[in-house]
Amino acid sequence: MGNVDPAAVKLPPWTAARRPRPHLRPIVKKNAMAIGSLLMAWNEAHGSLFDVFQWMVVDGDTVVARNLWLALQSDDMRRKAVRAGAAAIDHKKTLHSALIWSLDQLDSANEQRKFAAHVYLRDWGDTITPDYFTTDIKKINRHESDPWMDDADALVGDLYAIADYIRGIGMAMRPTGRPRPYVRKPRLQSRRLGQAAQGATKAKVAKKGRRSAPGNSSS
């Protein structure tokens, strides 16, 4: 038999599927639950920044603060605005460092949030995996070496804890507040945030040690 021209092969039309193939439905449901939980936790953590923003920019005027907040049309712009405005409380050392720490954690979590929300998970045999053609290869390699699903529950818990901590910072910024957050700083448990936070703390301690070492005095 000779080669068959694909254009000459006539396939009957089929009905478009409205659900994943039956053997993939359990894993799709598991991924959907994890992604949904992560996005909800992210939205709460990021939304809590408004509690800080309204006291930082317009001294609690929620109407003006809301208009300014909505004019910043992306999460990245809003975090940058809060980070820039943190200079307004740099005289309150504890609150300032607490806010910068919270923003750093959200920046770290944002990479995973983007991956979960935007990567095309394609069915491949008996599982689903990031699509090779539409996903950056570095992201695929990172996902394969450290699947975020294995850390999903801890990451979601960290984001809810960060949200509560940020609200505690916002309460402390009120005129009747106090010089430190009303909520204790959370101990992060996810690999992505917990390890990064521990590394930052060790670097800070090491830097402080170098400054206080003999011969490093600026006097």
Question: How is 72-127 classified by DSSP, letter by letter?
Answer: S-SHHHHHHHHHHHGGGGTTSHHHHHHHHHHHHHHHHHHHHHHHHHH--EEEETTE
Q: For residue 27, name the pLDDT band (cuts at 50, 70, 90).
A: confident
Percentage of residues in the chain having pLDDT higher than 70: 85
Residue environment code for 158-169, b if the CB has 16+ CB neighbours within 10 A, otherwise e: bbbbbbbbbbbb
Pick the most confident of 49-58, 115-124, 202-211: 49-58
**Residue 100 or residue 22, greater confidence:** 100
Q: For residue 36, name the pLDDT band (cuts at 50, 70, 90).
A: very high
Contact 172, 95 (CB under 8 A): yes
Q: For residue 205, name the pLDDT band (cuts at 50, 70, 90).
A: very low
Nearest to 52 by CA among 10, 94, 81: 81
Average pLDDT over residues 79-85: 94
Other C-beta atoms lying within 10 Å of the C-beta of residue 142: 16
pLDDT of residue 42: 97
pLDDT of residue 50: 95
What's the whole-number average pLDDT of the chain?
83
Q: For residue 2, name the pLDDT band (cuts at 50, 70, 90).
A: low
- The 10s digit of each residue's pLDDT in 132-173 is 888 888 878 877 777 777 888 999 999 999 999 999 999 998
Percentage of residues in the chain having pLDDT higher than 90: 42
pLDDT of residue 200: 53
pLDDT of residue 24: 85
pTM exceeds 0.85: no
**Residue 106 or residue 210, greater confidence:** 106
Average pLDDT over residues 46-71: 90
Is pLDDT at 215 greater than 70 in this prediction? no
